[in-house]
Amino acid sequence: MKTLSITTLILALLFYLVDPTRACGEEVRVERSRPMMGTMVEITALGPDRDLCDRSVEQAFQEIEAVDRLMSSFKGDSQVSQLNRLAGKTWMVLDPEVLDVLEAAVLYSRLSEGAFDITVGPLLRLWGFYRDKGHLPSTQEIGQARSRVNYRDIEIDQPKGRARLKKPGMAIDLGAIAKGYAVDKAVEALKKKGIRKGLVNAGGDLYAFGRPEEKAPWLIGLQHPREREKVATVLEVEDRAVATSGNYERYFVLKGKRYTHILDPRTGWPIQGMASVTVMADSAMKADALATSVFVLGPQRGLALLNRLPGVEGIIVAEEGPGGKQLVPYFSKGLKGRVSLDF
Ligand code: ADP
Ligand code: MG
């Protein structure tokens, strides 16, 4: 399971630990966290009065709850679970939000040449990621599951508001993109209520807007990939999303080897040799999907993808050398020489 510890520490908040709802000047700051979507979601709103902040934060949580209800693979009655049960059989009419996320997912599959693929469901099941108990599959089992993995077999019919999975046994999983989408929806809700400064963090997929203080943007600490309590670097963030995919969040160990929950759809195997990928972009959904894509692509091809997308930056930490013990950072063009990591 994804732990409740938070990938990304918000250093700025440390100054407010005494009282989470604290007036500063004429401004009120409301900060709440709740366990949701298999992680801890934190929402912060700054505004003119407590009541507005409270109501906005509540509304933002409800948006996230709604996304989870529609898109979770862990809820049998979600639209995603229903769509999976209809694989190879028939079309299903879906909420526009689900269709939009499916469409975006297919776009990221194309952009990443198949590294990102939400049809990895059969592989996730095979490796035991749905029952929290690892299983080392045989080559034959992997081959069988892989034959049902292909984003091109998702058919989306926007005019009729429906989609289908063409092959029996196919299953989609939105674990690499839905949290980012939920963060964007929560931010939209805060803004609609009139909040101009805020932060939504779903366990390392976050969006920060406005400035918490006149002179300073939001300060986002990136967790060290090996030592939970350590911060590898601090990023300044304003009106941007940051998402991190790591091999330390959900994994199992078999015979001394670590198997992470991010899989290579082409080989059917968990990705090796990557510690973490952090992506900055203009939406949390984009950052989330790209972080997973780059994690699968690896440092070279991953950097090439980040560098050709406008407004996107990223930090890749690879595990290199004997036993993968050495952490080696790679930076996209816009971050090179501007950010350093403290390992
Ligand atoms: P986290 O959940 O730690 O933020 P990610 O955003 O990288 O990490 O999402 C990982 C999840 O994405 C996995 O748990 C699984 O549900 C799904 N997934 C695994 N491999 C892929 C892949 N190649 N393409 C798309 N989704 C994937
Ligand atoms: Mg992701």
pLDDT in tens, 42-59: 999 999 999 999 999 999
284 CA to centre of ligand 2 in angstroms: 9
In this predicted structure, what is the pLDDT of residue 25?
A: 57
**Residue type at 118 in one-letter notation:** I
In this predicted structure, what is the pLDDT of residue 150?
A: 98
| Contact of 37 with 72, CB cutoff 8 Å | yes
26 CA to centre of ligand 2 in angstroms: 37
In this predicted structure, what is the pLDDT of residue 250?
A: 81
DSSP 329: E
In this predicted structure, what is the pLDDT of residue 132?
A: 76
The structure's pTM equals 0.93
Q: First vs last Cα of the chain: how many Å apart?
A: 26
Among 78, 292, 305, which is best to mutate for testing ligand 1, by the most ligand atoms less than 8 A from CB? 292
**Upper half-sphere CA count for residue 65 (Cβ side, 13 Å):** 8
Alpha-carbon span 98 to 339, nearest angstrom: 36
What is the block-wise mean pLDDT of the chain (343 residues), using blocks of 10 residues?
A: 41 42 71 97 97 98 98 98 98 98 98 98 96 92 98 98 98 98 98 98 97 95 91 97 90 88 98 97 98 98 98 97 94 95 91
Q: Which residues have their alpha-adjacent CB atom under 5 A from ion ligand 2?
A: 176, 288, 291-292
